[in-house]
Amino acid sequence: MLISSVFRVCVTQYLKCLSVMASRPSSDMAAFREEFAKSKHVVILTGAGVSAESGIPTFRGAGGYWRRWRAQDLATPEAFSANPSLVWEFYSYRREVVLSKQPNKAHYAIAECQKRLANQGRRVSVITQNIDQLHQAAGAVDVTELHGSLFKVRCLKCGTVRVDRNSPIVPALAGKGAPDPEAEEARIPEKDLPRCHQVGCDSLARPHVVWFGEGLDGGVIRHAESELEECDLCLVVGTSSVVYPAAMFAPSVASRGVTVAEFNMEETSATEKFGYHFSGPAGETVPLALAPHTTEDGK
């Protein structure tokens, strides 16, 4: 009886192991490439990890501070209302950092793939959580920016949004925004901070980004959801899958039977929901995944 009982326990544990193994995502790049070759509408969802390789600070995790503040302390409507000069110093610093960086191999691979497949009558939609516009700098078009952009500003009064890539964005912010914890606040008068350019307005403007405590733009969300509902292949690149609602996008796609491939330095809480997981720097794995397939017609 004892031997029989032990045997049953062993068999049960063995079957559980087989089940876990069967549910693990594949790392077979050749198999993924076959699915990529057949796809007609690819959605690529990107997060901070894809830009980290370009030297863009993520402001998340240990050490993610600017001066003495976490991003969560400054990227809020309340912080801007209380001290717009300090918040604009923070964003001016971030703008200047991004302006000094270049897209990396992952950005270029995505942009090249989008252009190449468009010539074949296929579609590549880029949806990003990043606000650095490095996808556009690499040549990607029609990028859906879930969280806005560092290079757009919005009027607090009339809501007008404009693109602004000036460096510095206003003269009063020249040389300001140093991340040194000992740096003194600039305390810039509100009249010298970025303002609305609409005739007759001239109200204070804020960064056109989604801050903590704010919801994403409804139109942007609907567009992203439409792209995800229509895709037949989804890539998740450099995202921790913890920032909602974007964290639910790829799992939702996977739940309807569409292949999802995750490209990340490490596994995430959503990894087991996906068909593929490729570990390593996106600048190495993404170009390999999106390179021209032998079956492409080369139009």
Q: How far apart are CA 229 and CA 3, in angstroms?
A: 53
Taking Cα atoms as reference points, which of 147, 167, 173, 160 lies closest to residue 206?
Answer: 160
DSSP helix/strand/coil, 270: coil
**Which residues belong to the active site?**
147
Do residues 196 and 155 make contact, with C-beta atoms less than 8 angstroms apart?
A: yes
Distance CA 16, CA 12 (A): 6
d(CA 19, CA 7) in angstroms, rounded, equals 18
d(C-alpha 104, C-alpha 55), whole Å: 9
Rounded to 5 degrees, what angle do the CA atoms 147, 151, 154 make? 75
* Listed residue (151, 111, 143) closest to 127, CA to CA: 143
Alpha carbon 254 to its chain's center: 19
